[in-house]
Amino acid sequence: MTFHYSIIIPHRGPRELLQRCLDSMPQREDVEIVVVEDSEGRGAGWARNQGLKKAQGEYLLFADSDDYFLPNINDVLDRVLELRNGEDPDLVFFGATSDSWRSAHLGWIMAQEGEKREFLLRHTFNEPWCHIVKRALVEEHRIRFSETRILNDIMFTKQVGYFAKSVAVIEKKAYYIDNFSNSVAKRRSDGNLVTYSTVLAEANVFNKRHGIDSYYANALRPVFMCLFTGKWKVMQLCLQGIQKAGCSKWEICRQMMYYPWHVVGWMWRRHKYSKYR
């Protein structure tokens, strides 16, 4: 059978949350649901890559098993098929809602207009949900998720945003993000701190190489956290990860001087985005 859509869901956690997610899936014959059980704790990146191997749909969507779709998802999928017979975009974005920072950031981006909105969606919205991606684009450029414990999705979404020839936006909120406090990404282990710095540094290098005017100052956040808590060894590993990603010592020093201003800006943006949840 030919599917228009494949929805890939990595799962490791409560079965009732997965069931809630599955119950929210669009009840359509053209939708394929691919659930990858991560029983050995290899991470969502590994699970999503396994899902990519199995997916047969023309378009790819991604969901976390503790989130769920809203009824608008059927309208979104119908609209994509309409666009497919016209401008035929490689990448389509739609909206989300929740009580979390992540949907507020996306809501603010969606409220922008024209080229600014497209740039922000392509290059600064780094969650895999609310993306509808042509599978042919992913296969052509061999785009995969990083198999890291956290931030496994950033390089995937950055490459998809960069290589997509055309982008469309559907003005509907069709996904709900649950903000669970025990998620892997929120655990401040030493390993997570090093991975955080390294992955964001890799994203910065990617942006620089491809002429994308966007920078993740947060690559240095674990460095400052370790500095203030006396974790000298972990701080050294974070700095080594940033250098290994391709950042020079001069670039690191320059950005460390800028970082306090970034924190001030971040606090202001958090307040500004709150109304866009």
Of the listed ranges 23-37, 55-69, 92-106, 213-227, the one predicted with least confidence: 92-106
Q: Could you tell me which of 99, 29, 17, 26 has the C-alpha nearest to residue 64?
A: 17
Q: What is the pLDDT of residues 251-272, one digit of tens each?
A: 899 888 888 887 777 777 666 6
Q: How far is CA 105 from the centre of its chain?
A: 12
Domain boundaries, the chain: 5-177, 188-276
Q: What is the mean pLDDT of residues 48-69?
A: 97
Q: Phi and psi at residue 110, in whole multiples of 5°?
A: -65, -25
For 11, the 3-state DSSP assignment is: strand
pTM listed for this prediction: 0.91
Q: What is the pLDDT of residues 88-128, one digit of tens each?
A: 999 999 999 997 777 888 999 999 999 999 999 999 999 99
Burial of 261 (0-12, 13-18, 19+ CB in 10 A): exposed
Measured distance CA(69)–CA(83) in Å, rounded: 21
Q: Which CATH architecture best describes the domain 5-177?
A: Alpha-Beta Complex (3.90)
Measured distance CA(173)–CA(52) in Å, rounded: 25
| Look-up of token digits 């069709």 | 174
Measured distance CA(126)–CA(114) in Å, rounded: 19
